[in-house]
Amino acid sequence: MDSRVVQEIAEVRSQVATWRREGKRIGFVPTMGYLHEGHLSLMRQALACCDRLVVSIFVNPTQFGPSEDLSAYPRDLAGDLAKIRSVGEALVFVPSVEAMYPQGAQTFVEVMEVTQPLCGVSRPIHFRGVTTVVCKLFLIVQPDIAIFGEKDFQQLVAIRQMVRDLRFPVEVLGGPIVREADGLAMSSRNAYLDPDQRMSARALSRALTEARLRFAAGERDAKHLLGVARAILESISGIEIDYVEVRDPVGLHTVEGAVKSEDRLFVAAYLGRARLIDNAPLGGACGLPPASV
């Protein structure tokens, strides 16, 4: 199959039905486009364990708050298609807003608890929009496997919860965070950073790395590790911290006192008009540079 771009839901359903009759295993990578190596790594991961790949490109309006960057969100469909083709064959689903949200739509899917902390505080309707659109996409694509990047770790947890609660027959996998050489997690929103802000943005991964180094050296106190991370972010002018928190990776409960290796440090900060997020487990391997940059 050549990579094919389709806009109509009926076309996706028909192609997927054919694949199902042929016994093919279908992998799905939902995106909002403006693709980078992080997205491409998810596609490679899907191709490695599935016979067919579906990629969606849809800037989902319901996951943006009224004062957020929906209209400015970067888009480059031609570039995205070239990148997808460089990875392999895929059915690329590029629906219109009207197709995904018919006139008068009033149905949402909301995961109640894991969406409350972290990004849920400053982006109160964000995860409702994410789970609603991912639910719709799952009903259209009916994948066996769907892959989401771990940079948006809370999103991954919310989608796992939705799949469990709604009994979707979909296996949800996380894909490791892909980073620039200096540690900055790849994100479409990095495009908003000017050169100075781009330099300052390294502080997010540095904060994670320093906390991980302290953990590796034996520090287990959550408060102390948070202090280390926070101090690095506070030392950079222009960074406005949204949150720095340690939470467990399954239910995203706050961890106080002694942390475990799998507990994750989550950071979010504003740099100009960009809101950047990053996270890492306190112990184990995770692709961060071994020492501070």
Residues recognised as catalytic: 39
Between 52 and 91, how does the x/- string for binding to ligand PAF read (CB under 6 A)?
A: --------x--x----------------------------
- What gap in Å lies between CA 290 and CA 200, rounded to an integer? 19
Among residues 52 and 151, whose Cβ is nearest to ligand PAF?
151
133 binding ligand PAF? (CB under 6 A): yes
134 binding ligand PAF? (CB under 6 A): yes
Among 40, 130, 244, 269, indicate the residue that binds ligand PAF (CB under 6 A).
130
Number of shown-chain residues binding ligand PAF (CB under 6 A): 10
Per CB under 6 A, which region of 26-34, 97-105, 213-221, 222-230 contacts ligand PAF?
Answer: 26-34
125 binding ligand PAF? (CB under 6 A): no
Binding to ligand PAF, residues 148-167 (CB under 6 A): 152, 155
Among 6, 24, 25, 32, indicate the residue that binds ligand PAF (CB under 6 A).
32
Among residues 73 and 215, whose Cβ is nearest to ligand PAF?
73
Interface positions with ligand PAF (CB under 6 A): 30-32, 60, 63, 130, 133-134, 152, 155
